[in-house]
Chain A
Amino acid sequence: MKEENNFLISKFVQNHSGIVLGSSKSYLIETRLTPIAEQFGFKDVDELAYGLGSAASDLKNAVIDAMTTNESFFFRDNIPFEAFEKIMLPELIATARKTNNKIRIWCAAASTGQEPYSLAMILLANKRLWSGINIEIIGTDLSDLSLERAKIGRYTQFEVQRGLPVQMLVEHFKQEGTAWFISDEIKNMVKFSKSNLLEPFGLLGKMDIVFCRNVLIYFDTETKAKVVKSVYDILRLDGYLVLGGAETLLGISDLMERAEGYRGLYRSAGAKNNLTALSA
């Protein structure tokens, strides 16, 4: 692939998704986009690069889709989910009982659904605790293909073994051949829709918890800061932002403060902080 086309495609992907590919990723671009080029009738990735600017939205979507990394697994890193069950949930339930009996949770880069479904499984196991409260889980992503898979809730034998305790597998999944389908009960607890973190998402309404994990890492500092500001705006004052295990807001934003005890957990600067119980 020609250097200038590498640049064209990187620029395109960054403008539309925030994802910074960098020049070292030309191999990645070529392997991931060759099938797309074929599918849309281009001779090769170079030809696709020329056509991209004026392309129809389905080609643009396919290119963005192919350049996203959608890896996810159930109960990824475990600790945020433990913090969700033991700290965030009881606290938000107490608040909800005093206010509007509502809790809203948003997975902002839900990929193939493992993250919101893990939360749903925790909620179902604690059903008694939140009786009378309306809990919403919303999963959004930029990738159409991932969202499609998330909605179907079909996972491979490998996927259901990464992070998911076997007891939950037996309880919440149905096996068909080598595929495992998540139960309707869990599926019905999560709503999926497409949303780009670079675009305004205020329409989603106020949130109590935002899981925005393993997506900021792909953005440059400026984009990270912009997204964090928008997430901050959508979060209720005593709400929580949960980042991936390797992500930090250090040097990116001081709107949110790290909650004690767990690396990826943030609250609005100034909100009370009672996480000392969790020593991770």
Chain B
Amino acid sequence: MKSCLVVDDSSVVRKVARKILEDMEYIVDEAEDGQEAYDKCKHEMPDAILLDWNMPIKSGLEFLKDLRGFVGGDKPKVVFCTTENDVGHIAMALKAGANEYIMKPFDREILESKFERLWS
């Protein structure tokens, strides 16, 4: 089974994402902001990370840049999941090392389709 860290400051989004990912047989852990996510990753790298952009303390983009610079931080597949819905932000995320990008609002089908293709 693969693991996924869901990083979002909204508990509702975390709950929805957790449910869908668990149905896809991921082992899910959660973090409320980029800093907490970074600490968890340092402790143990997940296989995948679902990542919000705007969060207090440390943003998703800052977290991603830190993660990719960290030993073993190239391993997790990172899927942004954010209301930042313009090409500029998407390009920035890809440049920083994101693997996929989900524009909110998302549904089960989108999340499933993005995660299924991560490993193919």
Query: A residues bordering B, Cβ < 8 Å?
Result: 73, 78, 82, 157-158, 161-163, 165-167, 169-170, 175, 178
Contact = CB atoms under 8 A, between A and B. Distances in A.
Given A78-B117, A161-B103, A165-B100, 12 more contacts: A78-B116, A157-B85, A161-B110, A162-B109, A162-B113, A165-B117, A166-B94, A166-B101, A169-B101, A170-B87, A170-B94, A178-B85
A188 to B, nearest CB: 22
Interface in B68-120: 85-87, 90-91, 94, 100-103, 106-107, 109-110, 113-114, 116-117, 120
A276 B38 CA distance: 44
A166 B109 contact: no
B120 A78 contact: yes
Contact of B86 (A82, A165, A175): A175
* Number of chain B interface residues as a range: 10 to 19
B85 A169 contact: no
Contacts of A73: 113
Contacts of A169: 90, 101
Interface string B27-65: 000000000000000000000000000000000000000
Given A78-B120, A161-B106, A167 B94 contact: yes
A170 B102 CA distance: 13
A158 B100 CA distance: 15
A73 B101 CA distance: 17
A161 B80 CA distance: 13
Contacts of B109: 162
- List the 4 shortest-distance A-B pairs measured between CB atoms, nearest first: A166-B101, A161-B110, A175-B87, A163-B113
A78 B118 CA distance: 12
Contacts of B86: 175
A167 B114 CA distance: 12
Contacts of A157: 85, 103
Contacts of A166: 90, 94, 100-101
Given A167-B94, A170-B87, A175-B87, A161 B114 contact: yes
B100 A170 contact: no
B107 A158 contact: yes
Nearest to B101: A166
Contacts of A170: 87, 90-91, 94
A12 to B, nearest CB: 33
8 contacts: A73-B113, A78-B116, A157-B85, A161-B102, A161-B110, A167-B94, A169-B90, A170-B94
Nearest to B116: A78
A240 B85 CA distance: 39
A280 to B, nearest CB: 11
Nearest to B120: A78
A167 B90 CA distance: 9
B112 to A, nearest CB: 10
B114 to A, nearest CB: 7
A157 B109 CA distance: 13
A169 B101 CA distance: 10
A169 B102 CA distance: 11
A73 B110 CA distance: 11
Nearest to B102: A161
A161 B81 CA distance: 12
A161 B116 CA distance: 13
B87, B91, B113 interface centre (most CB from chain A within 10 Å): B113
A162 B91 contact: no
B92 to A, nearest CB: 11
A114 to B, nearest CB: 13
B93 to A, nearest CB: 9
